[in-house]
Structure 1
Amino acid sequence: MTPTRKKRLLAVLLILIGVGIASALFLTAMSDNINLYKSPSDIAQGNYEEGRTFRIGGMVKKGSIVKSTTSLDVDFLVTDYAKDVKVHYTGLLPDLFRDDQGMVATGKLDAQGVFQAEEILAKHDENYMPPEVASSLKEKPQASDKHSDTTKQDEN
């Protein structure tokens, strides 16, 4: 092999190694930022990775909101009409957050089975529901009867 060919081969190999390392770093960073969606039924069945951040969605169970009088702590239940999960959040809730409304929270499940939310998103208007929540509620017959107008929006 001539010295010119060796230099070209070395340059190509270094470029390929660099691209491989950059790709591996990119994929690792992206996998850490992916928040998987889970319904309360999924969580009750244990379909989640302990210690990993994920999103939970469903309806805020009527009468379950308990706000602290001395802090910004809020506890409530999220339901998919089959199972409920207790959620704890510290912070200001969205203005549209209330009983029997769709919501999605991002956070982690603690050892006691309480979802420790870092972020709460509430539905926008009477016709909108997050796609993940709508699809998980469609599987529950009592939920589809109760919220048929919100799930029809996602089908269009």
Structure 2
Amino acid sequence: MKPRSKRLVLVGGGVALLVAAVALVLNAFQQNLVFFHTPTEVVAGKAPSGKTFRIGGLVETGSIRREADGITVRFAVTDTAKTIPVSYRGTLPDLFKEGKGAVVQGRLEADGTFRATEVLAKHDENYMPPEAAHAVEQAHKAGATVAQ
């Protein structure tokens, strides 16, 4: 084989390896991508069915109920316009409270309950995830428009 042919084979092999590596990275990224939706979007059917996603908003006051097993907790997340019931099995963060911001990750069940696998709570008095803050702001604007 001529030196020029050897170089072409090596360059072609290197490009093929690079393309394969990029394809694997993009595939892994796509599988781990989790989208954020508001309760209003979920009720409107804009959330993916059968896939993991996040819901953010406020924990509805008076909605936290602990099951007899001591591990399962039921509560509701609202953006002040719509409310989604959530069921979570596990330990809640210390800062998780009614009326405070939270983001839950999981899947929407056929009965409309959001089965959470992870619960994230705000970290101080002024913090709310940007997506949840935007959702609450949009819901307030929509409510003000309807009230007029």
TM-score under structure 2 normalisation?
A: 0.91
Query: What is the identity percentage for the equivalent residue pairs of Structure 1 and Structure 2?
Result: 43
Work out whether residues 76 and 84 of structure 2, in 8 Å CA contact, stay in contact via their aligned partners in 1.
Answer: yes
Provide the secondary structure at the position in 2 that maps to 1:125.
coil
Structure 2 CA distance for partners of 1:133 and 1:144, relative to 1, 3 Å: farther
Q: For 1:139 and 1:48, how far apart are their aligned partners in 2?
A: 17
* RMSD (Å), alpha carbons: 1.8
Give how far 1:80 is off.
Answer: 0.4
Q: For 1:131 and 1:100, how far apart are their aligned partners in 2?
A: 17
Q: For 2:12 and 2:81, how far apart are their aligned partners in 1?
A: 56
Report how many residues are paired. 144
Give how far 1:67 is off.
Answer: 0.5
Unaligned runs of 5+ in 2: none
Q: For 2:104 and 2:57, how far apart are their aligned partners in 1?
A: 9
**What is the correspondence of 1:113-152 to structure 2 with a 5 Å cutoff?**
113-141=112-140
**What is the correspondence of 1:47-126 to structure 2 with a 5 Å cutoff?**
47-126=46-125
Unaligned runs of 5+ in 1: 146-156
TM-score under structure 1 normalisation?
A: 0.86
Q: For 1:71 and 1:143, how far apart are their aligned partners in 2?
A: 38
Give how far 1:124 is off.
Answer: 1.3
Give how far 1:106 is off.
Answer: 1.0
Structure 2 CA distance for partners of 1:95 and 1:143, relative to 1, 3 Å: farther
